[in-house]
Chain A
Amino acid sequence: MVCYSNKTLTVPANFCLPNGLWKQEPVKMGLLSDPSISTHNKLVDSLAKHMRKLCYVFYTAGVVWFMCLALPEFNHGTYLSENALSPGLVYPEIRIDSNRLALQLLEELQRERKEHQSTTPHAWILGKFNEFGLETYIHNYTLRYPFGGGKEFHGKNIYGILRAPRIGSTEGIVFSAPYRPPSSVHDDISASVPVLLTFAEFARRKNYWAKDLVFLVTEQEQLGMQAWLEAYHDGDKKYDTSSSYLVPGNLPARAGALQAAVNIEVEDLEIDYVDVKIEGLNGKLPNLDMFNLVQRIMAREGVTSGYKQAPRKKRRTNYSTYEQNLRQMLAMLSAQTSGVPSGNHGLFHRYRIDALTISAAKRVTNSNVKSNPSSAAVPFLKAIEGISRSLNNLLERFHQSFFFYLIVHNDRYVSIGDYMPALVALIACGFVKAYLIWSTLDAPEHTSQQDADTNPPAVYLKLTLPYGSVLIYLTVSVVIGYMGNVLPLQKYLISLPIGAGPLTVAMLMAINLAGFALPFFLVLPFGGLELLHISLLLIYSCALIVIGLLNFALGFFVAVLSMPMIVALDPNTTNVTLRGLARLWTLLLNPVVVIYAVVLVLTFYQFPELAFQQLLLRAATAAMDAVTFALIDSVIYGNWLYFVACTVFFPLWIACWTLALGRRGDNTISKTKLKTN
């Protein structure tokens, strides 16, 4: 006789199984159909007892593993994988006369800028490109803004192509500089165009180019770049006026398959330091080799450069401490989470073109390093030349090294193989809990039927679960979430005389309300809550794994935030305070509340002087703008954060809310009080 004592079972404390059961076990050796690992055994039961503890152990392990990644033992020094790059193999040839040209061009541009307060001096840029002997073209594009009654914006990009002598226009590299008119709200980067032109003039006189060089000046920030890229890759598309917002048109000339792109943002020719921006659309990154290349060449030319480089004053030490490393990692992740590119380079990644932004910051005047203005930009120009020559050397597209990584310090990184275990450990709780709930579903049934030899009661119970109604429930919640994608862009709603922000937020609020009310209208039958719980855990875990693979930052942060709530959630708890707390917690993790909280924290850091009430109000408007921008980003650039929040996270939240409420079909409550924990 083998006897069990299980505290979790409600009715009889002990029950015994006849020996006959054990007789069968060692005989059958089927690998997968081994009955010993079927729904309930000793291991599962003891695990079920400690389920919550186990989940929290997994959770802590994940977080601790992530924290450990900042330790030097857990990350690696960067190295160049692609031999063809061979950075710094050639002597830079750019000389002081180029700097003189840059100064002269900057002066001319400043004069032009006085006349063009809110427009781009197209004619001047065109003229310069022509003068340097480049093939020069204009690209026109149109934006049909979806909100505000269908306004149309027209833009113009200017690009010059240096046809490489050593190739028949089959491959190209892009050097781009965004142009901002004086009226722009962003930082003044008017020196970028002169730097770009200077480099173009220098490159035109060299015969070693084996890839066409495209020099591109874009306007209207990322919109111009997006239009240019779309025209480059989808120039033949015919756009119908109803459903397309950005009409890029076609390009008059191309330069083959683009291999890499460097975006240059220069505040002034006197450069203090260079910040290398890498985060692209949806958190994509350029190849680590490209980042390393820039780092190496900048170091060779003596330009201070790094990822998220801070001004000289703020840099305390060159040595990396644990705290600094962790800060750097978190900063990188938080920049990636939103999926908004940190510069114009980010839009290239979508077309599998590795790109980054070299953003040079202006030297603040009373610095102790004196520099001669007539040669101030030479090191920077030399660095650009070095980067371009290394890229020119590339025989193949970037394919070695890493595309998924975290930068811990300027010369240290964490590869995907090292950081994914953290996310997997976090998400493992979901799968473990789902399995344990599933395997303990039938536990009480044994108590009623002593002879287990006849029909396995577990199968019986599991077959009778209300699969259909749970499926319908989930579908309804997904549809409610999906409405958030569709509704704000409907024709008749857009034509309403409200701004884009209030309209979107009103729609989202309505959808949120529908999600909030859903469990009050749709009550699941007996067993439905348990099944919903299991499916919630499975869908949630799978979704997070997938999101984490595409954009680790988003997956990781969502897992860290929501996993404890998901673990704590228990629809069968009898404790009223516990239940109340779970409901409160779930409400706090509503996507809209989370967005508001994030914006609130950001606002607090940005405007610490504001009073609390003002802060709340300002955060509310900022959150409204954030949501609207997310929607526009998803429509124009293909950022999927808004889509994921609406169609994945919100339906999951509805399921969580249903479980937290714990409403079930009345007639069955008394009969079966399932206690899974």
Chain B
Amino acid sequence: MLAELTLTLLLLLSPLALGQTQIHQFQYQTDEQFHEELVVRPLAGDHVNTYFQFTTRWHYGVHKNLYHTQLTPRVIAEILQTYDVRELHIGLTQGLWRYETWGYPIVEATGGAELWAWFSSPNLTDDSVNNQWMRLANVFSGILCASLNFVDNTNSIAPKHIFRPQFMESGHRSQQFVRYATLPREIVCTENLTPWKKLLPCGSASGLATLLNSGYVHNTKYHSLGVKVRTLCDSDDPNNCIVELTQTANLVYDLKLLEQSNTDFSLRRLFGMGLNGYCEMANSSKIYVQRNEQGERFQLTPPPQEEVLSKVGGHSVLFGVYDIQQQFEGPGARLFNIAWLGPKGNSKREHMSPPPLYAHRYLLGNGQKHGRIATEVTNTHYEPLPVVLMELVPWYVHAYLHTLRISSKPQHLYEYTTNELKYSLLHYAPGKQRVLPTHLEIGFMLPARSSALITIEVDYLLLKWLEYPPDANHGHYIGSAVISSQLPIGRNYTALPLEGYLFQDSFNASRTAYMLTLRTEALIVSLPTPDFSMPYNVICLACTVVALAFGPIHSVATKLIIVERQTTIPRNLLRKIVHKLTTRFSRRPANSAVNEQQNDEQNGKGKEKEKKKEQEKKQLDQTENKKFCDKQAHM
């Protein structure tokens, strides 16, 4: 009972409740703002998380103002017009966020490319949304130089429960549509970073974005670029709207990979250069440095200008704040650098307690015919947690709903027991070969201090030979599962609150519950793959053999072969001529008979069967005679 209640609460958290106060705040602001922020958080295990957030917030008022952009990139404004997009998330990620050691990230992303969007407009239908979704993906494929053009209806789904809109509609209540797709195979590189930086007002010329050098960014353990767009409109006044573009870059550095002996690091070590100033367009540009937990052991030079203590859900975090605009107030160009000096001597590695909820996914079974997709969700909290899990299984893998099992175990055991959890919510849309992916959403209560293993059996499909990618034996990807929950405590929780748009909005943002979404690992399945060195040989050889064999076999099977011996020809010239003449005359009827017989066979006319039989008899006699002739000749 309690479980269902929490679950419905989780699902029905509507966007309308959140922003009433917000609307009034920006009622009469008509300007455009740009903020740049950098958060540096030392993590467990010699890792450092650096998080860049660039926020452009434009109170554009009337809809047609969208054609005259200043700080907001024109493309972003245009897609709102053209494709009825109200909210858009794009993530381009390399690596995997390790929840157990790093806690929760500020923004979530899955490996490869991830894209989801909310559409809303008075006259939208499901089909037109499908169409617009594909066009939207194609537009961003160009903007970000990513393979988002591979997003189409064969790998997109419309999530039912897991995503909730973060935008606000103007007055009219029109239907809302959501689409979600991932491309786990996408490799994120410099070619994505450069166009991403071009969306910023200052580009990579000045400001915090100068720190994002591809040589350093891509040497990290995890890097994720994000673009998030949402619109917030006054529910009464459709001409009072805000568009909010948030660009994020989330990086995790491994200090061991920086090839240095101690644990000291600095902005220059991480990014290759110090900071040369701030973006002149920015209203604020700040650096936040976490000082407690893992950050406690570091000394900062220069020391932060101020310190902020943030208490979220009974969990306090101390941040040191550097205001870059203040830093560069005086005359003269300087490079600004922050150094983290670790303790001297070998410090004992402290054990990091895992966050309240984390998940893993793996493939079980062996062979190329079938397997099981297993997702393991662990709750380390002392209360049960509601969990919603979404699976998007591509069409080349058949999932069977009747094999869905949720088995549970206490957290400290390794073996799963036979008792199964009951799900309180299930949405299943079966896949269709080459048309639709399988879409599965399950909601259940996860008991305190226990793990749940959700398994579903799948069959691997044998693809058509043109459907295999060039490196067929690499395997095919199954995108990550998305897991959503509501945490009662704010431990390790750093995401921005729904109504906020700056990192500082997350300070002291205590709520009754904290919305959490997790992403698991992607999977590689090896589908049954033919040996691609063979087909060419085999096809060529088999075709040649068939072509060569067909002619003789066909003629042997349909024609009658009569062997004629030339031994009876006399030697005398005159007699020869006479013999030739006689044989020619006598042979002619025989030849015609053969022809006629063939015609009969082809036409298959019943009335000529008798005639045919007669002819056959004649031929039999002839062949017999010939046989005798041959024998005589041999003798």
Residue B94, interface by CB 8 Å: yes
How far apart sit A508 and B525, CA to CA, in the bound complex (Å)? 43
A236 adjacent to B523 (CB under 8 Å): no
- How many angstroms from the CA of A350 to the CA of B366 in the assembled complex? 9
A396 to B624, CA, bound (A): 67
- Supposing A26-B623, A133-B46, A169-B96 touch, asked if A351 and B416 sit within 8 A by C-beta, the answer is no
B88 CB to nearest chain A CB (Å): 23
Interface residues on B, range: 35 or more
Q: Which residue of A lies closest to B623 (CB)?
A: A26
Q: How far is the CA of A220 from the CA of B215 in the complex (A)?
A: 46
Choice from A130, A133, A135, A236 contacting B416 with Cβ under 8 Å: A236
Q: Do A236 and B526 have beta carbons less than 8 Å apart?
A: no
Q: Is the CB of B523 within 8 A of A256?
A: yes
Given A169-B96, A233-B366, A252 and B526 touching (CB < 8 A)?
no
Does A50 interact with chain B (Cβ within 8 Å)? no
Cα A234 to Cα B455 in complex, Å, equals 11
9-residue interface stretch from B147-155, B252-260, B305-313, B337-345? B252-260
Determine if B220 and A27 form an interchain contact, defined as CB atoms under 8 angstroms apart: no
Contacts of A252 in B (CB 8 A): 414
With a cutoff of 8 Å between Cβ atoms, the chain A residues found around residue B477 in the complex are 170
Which of B54-62, B78-86, B468-476, B506-514 contacts the other chain? B468-476
What A residues does B46 contact at CB under 8 A? 133
Q: Please, how many angstroms separate the alpha-carbon atoms of A235 and B366 in the complex?
A: 12
Q: Does B572 contact A (CB under 8 A)?
A: no
Chain B nearest CB from A167 CB (Å) reads 7
> CB within 8 Å of A: which of B549-572?
556-557, 560
Instruction: Name which of A201-209, A582-590, A596-604 contacts chain B.
Output: A201-209
Q: How many angstroms between the C-alpha atoms of A23 and B621 in the bound complex?
A: 10
Query: Is A491 close to B, CB under 8 A?
Result: no
Choose among A205, A395, A397 the residue with the greatest number of B CB atoms under 10 Å from its CB: A397
Complex contact B524–A170 (CB within 8 A): yes
Partner of A204, one of B256, B360, B556: B256
**Is B372 in contact with A29, judged by CB distance below 8 angstroms?**
no
B416: chain A residues at CB < 8 Å are 236, 238, 250
Pick the contact of A171 from B257, B524, B531, B556 — CB < 8 Å? B524
* C-alpha gap A23/B626 in the complex (Å): 12
Complex alpha-carbon distance, A204 and B47, angstroms: 13
Chain A residues with Cβ below 8 Å from B417 are 238
**Interfacial chain B residues near A26, Cβ < 8 Å:** 623, 627
Contact A166 B94, beta carbon cutoff 8 Å: yes
Given contacts A396-B474, A397-B475, whether A168 and B366 have CB atoms under 8 Å apart is no
Nearest chain-A residue to B259 (Cβ)?
A205
Residues in chain B near residue A133, CB distance under 8 A: 45-46, 256
Q: What is the CA–CA distance of A550 and B533 in the complex, to the nearest angstrom? A: 22
Our pick among B111, B362, B474, B533 for the contact of A254 (Cβ within 8 Å) is B362
Interface residue range, chain A: 35 or more
Do A29 and B221 have beta carbons less than 8 Å apart?
A: no
Q: Is A312 engaged at the interface, CB distance under 8 Å to the other chain?
A: no
Which of A391-419 touch B at CB < 8 Å?
395-397, 399-400
Residues of A within 8 A of B374 (CB): 235-236
Task: State the CA gap A206–B254 with chains docked (Å).
Answer: 10
CB distance from B353 to the nearest CB of A (A): 15
Complex contact B360–A254 (CB within 8 A): yes
Does B13 count as interface, using CB distance less than 8 angstroms? no
**What distance in Å separates the Cβ of B256 from its nearest Cβ neighbour in chain A?**
6
| Residues of chain A contacted by B95 (CB below 8 angstroms) | 165-168
A140 to B474, CA, bound (A): 32
Cβ of A284 within 8 Å of any chain B Cβ, yes or no, is no
**B524 and A249 within 8 A (CB):** no
| A513, CB-defined interface residue at 8 Å | no
A31 at the interface (CB under 8 A from B): yes
In this complex, which of A130, A163, A166, A170 has the most chain B Cβ atoms within 10 angstroms of its Cβ? A170
Asked if A68 CB lies within 8 Å of chain B CBs, one says no
Interface residue? B219 (CB, 8 A): yes
Q: Mark B357-372, 1 if CB is under 8 A from A, else 0.
A: 0001011111110001
Query: In the complex the two chains form, what is the Cα distance from A397 to B471 in whole Å?
Result: 10
- In chain B, what residue has the closest Cβ to A256? B524
Rounded to whole angstroms, the CA-CA distance of A167 and B415 in the bound complex is 28
Across the interface, name the chain B residue whose C-beta is closest to A250: B414
Q: Is B521 an interface residue (CB 8 A)?
A: yes
A253 within 8 A of B: yes
Q: Which residues from A are CB-within-8-Å of B221?
A: 163, 165
- Contacting B at CB under 8 A, from A246-273, are 247, 249-254, 256-257
CA distance A26 to B623 in the complex (A): 9
Q: How far is the CB of A61 from chain B (nearest CB, A)?
A: 26
CB pair A206–B257 under 8 Å, yes or no, is: yes
Would A170 and B521 count as touching, CB distance under 8 A? yes
Q: Write the nearest CB–CB distance from A253 to chain B, whole angstroms.
A: 7
Are A399 and B473 neighbours in the complex by a CB distance under 8 Å?
yes
The number of A-B residue pairs with CB atoms under 8 Å apart is 115
Q: Does B98 contact A (CB under 8 A)?
A: yes
- Fill in one digit per residue for A204-242: 1 if any B CB lies within 8 Å of its CB, else 0: 111100000000000000000000000001111010000
CB nearest to A82 among chain B residues:
B473
Which of B111, B259, B474 makes the CB contact (< 8 A) with A395?
A: B474
Closest to B257 in A: A207
Give the chain B neighbours of A131 by CB distance below 8 A.
Answer: 349
Contacts of A236 in B (CB 8 A): 364, 372, 374, 407, 416, 453, 455
Answer yes or no: A53 CB below 8 A from chain B CBs.
no
A154 close to B (CB within 8 Å): no
Contact B414 A165 (CB under 8 A): no
Asked whether A95 is an interface residue with its Cβ less than 8 Å from the other chain, the reply is no
Determine if B620 is an interface residue (Cβ-Cβ < 8 Å).
yes
Q: Which of B341-394 contact A (CB under 8 A)?
A: 349, 360, 362-368, 372, 374
A238 and B522 within 8 A (CB)? no
From A27, A205, A238, contact of B256 by CB (8 A): A205
B603 sits at the interface (CB 8 A): no
List A residues 120-174 near B (Cβ within 8 Å). 130-131, 133, 135, 139-140, 163, 165-171
B592: Cβ under 8 A from any A Cβ: no
A234 and B364 CA atoms in complex are apart in Å by: 6
Contact partner of B473 (CB less than 8 A), chosen from A169, A207, A247, A396, is: A396
Give, as a whole number of angstroms, the nearest-CB distance from B214 to chain A.
15
A residues in contact with B70, CB < 8 Å: none
Residue in B closest to A167 when the chains form the complex, CB atoms? B95
Interface residues of B in 389-445 (CB under 8 A from A): 407, 414-418
For B45, B364, B365, B529, which residue has the most chain A Cβ atoms within 10 angstroms? B364
* Bound Cα distance A165, B46 (Å): 14
* Interface pair B414/A238, CB less than 8 Å apart: no
**Closest Cβ neighbor of B362 among chain A residues:** A254
CB pair A352–B366 under 8 Å, yes or no, is yes
Interface set, chain B 587-635, CB cutoff 8 A to A: 620, 623-624, 627
A171 to B533, CA, bound (A): 24
Q: Report chain A residues within 8 Å CB of B560.
A: 29
Say yes or no: A399-B366 contact (C-beta < 8 A), given A170-B522, A253-B360: no
5 extra interface residue pairs, beta carbon distance < 8 Å, beyond A165-B257, A238-B417, A352-B368: A26-B627, A165-B221, A205-B256, A238-B407, A257-B475
Selected A-B contacts with CB under 8 Å, 28 pairs: A26-B623, A29-B556, A130-B349, A133-B45, A139-B414, A163-B98, A165-B221, A165-B254, A166-B94, A168-B94, A170-B477, A170-B522, A171-B524, A205-B256, A205-B257, A234-B365, A236-B407, A238-B417, A238-B418, A251-B414, A252-B414, A256-B523, A257-B475, A350-B366, A351-B366, A352-B366, A397-B475, A399-B529
**Top-6 shortest CB links A-B:** A168-B111, A396-B473, A168-B96, A207-B257, A399-B473, A249-B414
Task: Please list the residues of chain A having a beta carbon within 8 angstroms of any beta carbon in chain B.
Answer: 23, 26-27, 29, 31, 130-131, 133, 135, 139-140, 163, 165-171, 204-207, 233-236, 238, 247, 249-254, 256-257, 350-352, 395-397, 399-400
> Which residues of chain B have a CB within 8 Å of any CB of chain A?
45-46, 93-96, 98, 101, 111-112, 219-221, 254, 256-257, 259, 349, 360, 362-368, 372, 374, 407, 414-418, 453, 455, 471-475, 477, 521-526, 529, 531, 533, 556-557, 560, 620, 623-624, 627
